Amino acid sequence: MLTYHRRPASVCWLSLDLAVRSLVDTSVTVYQKDANRYHLVMTEPAVVDAMATGLEGLGSAAQPSKLTNNSEWSGFSLPEGPPGGRLLWLEVSPNRATMTMQGNGTFSYRHLWERGVYGLSRYWLQSSGPGSHDRLRLRNFTRDLTVEGSPIPRSLRLEYELWSGQLRLGVYVLSIEIHP
């Protein structure tokens, strides 16, 4: 039987090579699929408006979004996110993790990680015209994937390299701490 728990959480994403770091306090809903498989659903903060940062093309991505109704996810009640936020969906097991963010038709991504294996990181950016979109596909190599806690996880730590062809784009760490 599927059980779920709503908890506060801290999410940290950082680069070990570059000056890139993001730390967010949010809440996470943990759905326990079985003894070692979980779905974590949380809200990603809004993307900063393009005019405030000087970056072009991000302004339309700062709108609220929801996950699409995929049959794989039917039966789950997704938490409501704050205005401007997007939902992140993580499927976690001891050796594998998948993270999906589906925007409101402007920006989406999906990462597939498996310990010791090259996985995929895909990004989609929708333009304003119908049928116009760009996608980017990168590889990632999962150095470490650690899930701690029982019966629900207390922490998830994922360390991976991001690659484009033969060029390594850096080493990154995603850490999620779930508070009681």
103-123 pLDDT, tens digit per residue, is 666 778 899 999 999 999 998
Residue 49 or 145, more confident: 145
pLDDT confidence of residue 47: 53
Contacts of 143 (CB under 8 A, 6+ apart): 159, 160, 161, 171
Q: What pLDDT does residue 45 have?
A: 62
Q: Per residue in 34-47, pLDDT tens? A: 888 999 998 766 65
Q: What tens digit of pLDDT does each residue of 63-95 get?
A: 333 333 333 333 434 444 445 567 889 999 989
pLDDT band at 102; cut points 50, 70, 90: confident
pLDDT, position 100: 92
Q: What domains lie within the chain, and their CATH numbers?
A: 3-170 (2.40.128)
Sole residue written with tokens 């393009």: 50
Residue 4: band (very low, low, confident or very high) from pLDDT cuts 50, 70, 90: confident
| Gap between the Cα atoms of 109 and 52, Å rounded | 23
DSSP letters spanning 27-91: EEEEEEEETTEEEEEEEEPPPPPHHHHT-SS-GGGSS-------GGGTT--PPPPPTT-EEEEEE
User: Would you give the end-to-end CA distance of the chain in angstroms?
Assistant: 22
pLDDT of 5-40, one tens digit each?
899 999 999 999 999 999 989 899 999 888 889 999
CA distance 29 to 41: 5
Q: Which residue in the block uniquely carries the two structure tokens 């033969």?
A: 166
Please say if the pLDDT value at position 52 is more than 90. no
- Model pLDDT for residues 151-169, shown as the tens digit of each residue: 888 999 999 999 999 999 9
Write down the residue that tokens 């940062």 correspond to: 53
Share of the chain above pLDDT 70, in %: 69
CA dist., res. 89 & res. 95, Å (int): 17
